[in-house]
Structure 1
Amino acid sequence: MVLAVKDTEPKDLLNEDCVLPTTTISPTSGFFFTSPFRSLSTQGCFTKLTLPAADGDNLQGEFQQAVRQAFTQARLAGVPHPVLCGAIPFDTRQPSALFIPEQTQWFERGSFMASVEPTADMLPEITRQTELPQQAQFMQMVADAVAITGNKQLEKVVLARLLEIETSKRIDRHALMMQIITQNPHGFHFHVPLEEGALVGASPELLLRKYGHQFHSNPLAGSIQRESDPQRDHAASEQLLTSAKDRYEHQIVTEGMRQVLSNRCRYLNIPASPELLSTTTLWHLSTPIDGEVAECAENALSLACLLHPTPALCGTPTLAARELIEQLEPFDRELFGGIVGWCDAEGNGEWVVTIRCGTVQANQVRLFAGAGIVQDSSPQSEWHETGTKLSTILRAFGLNQG
């Protein structure tokens, strides 16, 4: 079965008094997030929450207490329906980039998407591109990781690389977001304002969506590049669906999620076999997961922190994989490979994995892409896969990955 993201936004979830005409929505006025579930745009900042989310899964922990306190303060100050939004880094021991905005506007994604136009001619020329690490070093990283997985010290690790870009002049973030949305119409689009610049992207991967007691997740692991010819494209999708290496990588992810979710659920459904999900450039192995929480106090952010980082972005066992990432990768991921989304005071919310993304500051952009490494991984293939993923957001600048 082939899956694609569908715009089936439930009308009963929207406060009609807060739904704005799409002409008034700006993707760069503050936090911006589009989803088939709910889409929002914010203005202003009531309070920031930079506390690390290392214990964010613990409902009685310091982080969750700080979240509840922030919601209470916002309501007392006259914010009627406070929402906590922003990003949490890959390493939850690092500061969070979360805040409660002064104003939140919900809007219909379908109508907004219909009004979006390409803006490539408004983006500046790229004058320099630098790969970090370069190909030889990245392939050696993969070879080292394969050797360790072969020794059974860990089952999987996700290794990433960056592409650093400089442009001829300052980047218009509004034009950039419009181009990203145009080139990736089925992604979860996001803009997160930072102290300097912003985090932008179009993630294909839902980590956790919760409404009431019900939740959903859609992990992706295992991918292959799409082809322009329909017959070759179909053959590529079948190759992925029958790939022992990719199905093994995907099973590690779904079983890891089963282990952490089981004790917090009254009901949990994880299909035994993955399906295909398509984006503009890639086929992914995908498993739609749904369940019902056991405790009414559970919220979207506590579940997201319970899952993050999943084996799809880190590896398994988690601690061993994270230590190897710190040892091999020549950079700090910071917000890359983290999560981005929102949670309201009633516990509803949605969080996606921070991939197909970049940070923008003045005339500089950093792009991020990773690949899951298991015992059968090929260094050359993983280099190619990360290049294909980087090309998704590179297209926002009118370029293809070389």
Structure 2
Amino acid sequence: MHSISTALQQIAQQLRAEFPVSPGVRRFAVPVSLNQTDPLAWLASQPVYPQFYWQQRNGDEEVAALGASRHFSTFDAAQAFLASQSDAALRIWGLNAFDTERSALFLPRLEWRRHGGSVTLALTVCSDHSLADDARAALAFIDALTPGEPLPTTPLDCVGERHFPDRAGWTQLINQATDAIAAGQFEKVVAARASDLQFSSPVSAAAFMAASRRVNLHCYHYFMAFAPDDAFLGSSPERLWRRIDSALRTEALAGTVANHPDEAKAQALGDWLMKDDKNQRENMLVVEDICQRLQNAVSSLDVLPPQIVRLRKVQHLRRCIWTELHQPDDSLCLHQLQPTAAVAGLPREPARRFIATHESFVREWYAGSAGYLSLKQTEFCVALRCARVTRQTVRLYAGAGIVAGSQPDEEWQEITNKAAGLRTLLVS
């Protein structure tokens, strides 16, 4: 097996061959050794953007994608591009906004991909006009890469924090939501808060991601750097969907209680969550919505029994849903499943209108999705437990499902517990 530098030399040698002056896509892959190199640190050391890091929540898959052979601003455009290709190994990575009409997806120039204990480094040449020209551009891309450096460990000094909305605004928002529910406008809405933490020096988004990866176990870890001082990242427990051929798996993750470092107390809290009527009702609303949205595109739907997902700061109720698509169609999955009732509400459209009218910030990538699509398989997680890092500011996001009977103080504590999964990594 080769090191990254040796693999790049081998790929560069292949790029020096003759290429046609015509459109096309070619992928060059070389196996590399699984050594002590952290792909996230290597990725963040590079002077090229975009950068995307991903680790599947069971740890089996890990990817560092660097540079774009092609950008896609909508999911449908990305799927249409893949439909014109025959190479099942091509993957398009990135983010979908809460508003599903907007995406930041790209076919990477270079992709480090680990599956289990096997690692491949692959470079893609892609052009609508001349593969020869793009091969030369790819050689220049390789020449610009660096060996990589460890992530910084500089302590952070938080000098300010603001919430949007603040505590009084949150109480008003929840009261408006419960009044709307009582008036029959919708059954549930997910209210969210953004918290801006100001630091005395720029924050390394990649180091922040690495810190979250170390402690927030059983989560998808995702990181997208748009530029040196602009990144979106998170550690989400929730799968939006996974498709392998036509087999589809999704889930309802809704209903929350605090976790506790004492095992017996954590177990008692989890037992309470499993029996609590409000939380069970909230979870089943999400299950029923997912099943209704998918019913015309799938065969029978199997809803698995509820289980407790125990995370570092909170515990959740989860019901997995397995089915078979009539036709493999990731665009259908995105538009039917996102935003789920767990991040927007029910019915979806009146809940979204309430969010757009009453929330005091724009969600952007928060409560959207992060992951990849390909011909054979696709996987996206819900973009939760996340942050936007811009220079010296870190914006944290957290939301709570509001139903009849929700209390502002209890919901404020819930979003504070959720945000703590990332906040405690920045502020002691």
Tell whether the 8 Å contact from 1:298 to 1:347 is kept in structure 2 after alignment.
no
Deviates more, 1:143-152 or 1:102-111: 102-111
User: What secondary structure sits across from 1:238 in the alignment?
Assistant: helix
| Cα distance between partner residues in 1 of 2:261 and 2:313 | 9
TM-score w.r.t. the length of structure 1 is: 0.83
* Distance of aligned partners of 1:328 and 1:99 in 2 relative to their CA distance in 1, 3 Å threshold: same
1:3-402 aligned within 5 A: 18=31, 21-27=34-40, 28-29=43-44, 30-35=51-56, 36=58, 38-51=61-74, 53=75, 63=76, 66-71=77-82, 81-93=89-101, 95-108=102-115, 121-194=153-226, 197-271=230-304, 273-295=305-327, 297-299=328-330, 301-344=331-374, 346-399=375-428
Whether the 8 Å contact between 1:219 and 1:287 is mirrored in structure 2 is: yes
Alignment gaps of 5+ in structure 2: 1-27, 45-50, 120-149
Q: Cα RMSD between the aligned structures?
A: 2.5
Match of 1:56 in 2: none
Shift of the alpha carbon at 1:218? 2.4
Identity of aligned residues (%): 26
Q: Which TM-score applies when normalising by structure 2?
A: 0.78
Looking at structure 2, the residues matched to 89 and 302 of structure 1 have their Cα atoms a distance apart, in angstroms, of 16
Q: SS of the counterpart of 1:193?
A: strand
Please give the alpha-carbon distance, in whole angstroms, between the structure 1 residues aligned to 2:371 and 2:108: 13
Q: 1:82·1:101 contact (CA, 8 Å) conserved in 2?
A: no
Q: Distance in 2 between matches of 1:120 and 1:243?
A: 44
**Alpha-carbon offset, residue 220 of structure 1:** 0.7
In the alignment, structure 1 segments of 5+ residues that lack a partner are 1-14, 54-62, 113-117
Whose strand fraction is larger, Structure 1's or Structure 2's?
2
Q: Which residue of 2 aligns with 1:8?
A: none
**Displacement of 1:267 after TM fit?**
3.3
Change (3 A) 1:247 1:68: closer
Residues 40-84 of structure 1, C-alpha deviations (whole Å, 9 max, x = no match) = 111211111113x5xxxxxxxxx2xx22453378x69xx983211
Shift in alpha-carbon separation, 1:19–1:320, aligned structure 2, 3 A:
farther
CA distance in 1, matches of 2:419, 2:152: 17
For 2:118 and 2:260, locate their aligned partners in 1 and report how far apart those are by CA, in whole Å.
30
Looking at structure 2, the residues matched to 315 and 20 of structure 1 have their Cα atoms a distance apart, in angstroms, of 46
By how many angstroms is 1:264 displaced?
1.1
Q: For residues 90 and 117 of structure 2, what CA distance do their matches in structure 1 show? A: 24
Report the CA distance between 1:24 and its aligned residue: 3.7
- Structure number, greater radius of gyration: 2
Residue 174 of structure 1: SS of its match in structure 2? helix
| 2:389/2:395 contact within 8 Å kept | yes
The alpha-carbon distance between structure 1 residues 128 and 105, as it changes in their structure 2 partners (threshold 3 A), is same
Residues in 1 aligned to 2:32 and 2:285: alpha-carbon distance in whole angstroms: 41
**Residue-by-residue CA offset, 1:339-385 (whole Å, 9 max, x unaligned):** 111011x1411101111000111111111000000002111100000
Rounded to whole Å, the distance in 2 between the matches of 1:316 and 1:236 is 27
Residue of structure 1 equivalent to 2:21:
none
Residue-by-residue CA offset, 1:283-313 (whole Å, 9 max, x unaligned) = 1010011111111x423x5313320001000
- 1:177 is aligned with what amino acid? M
**Equivalent pair of 1:267/1:293 in contact (CA under 8 Å):** no
Residue 389 of structure 1, CA deviation = 0.6
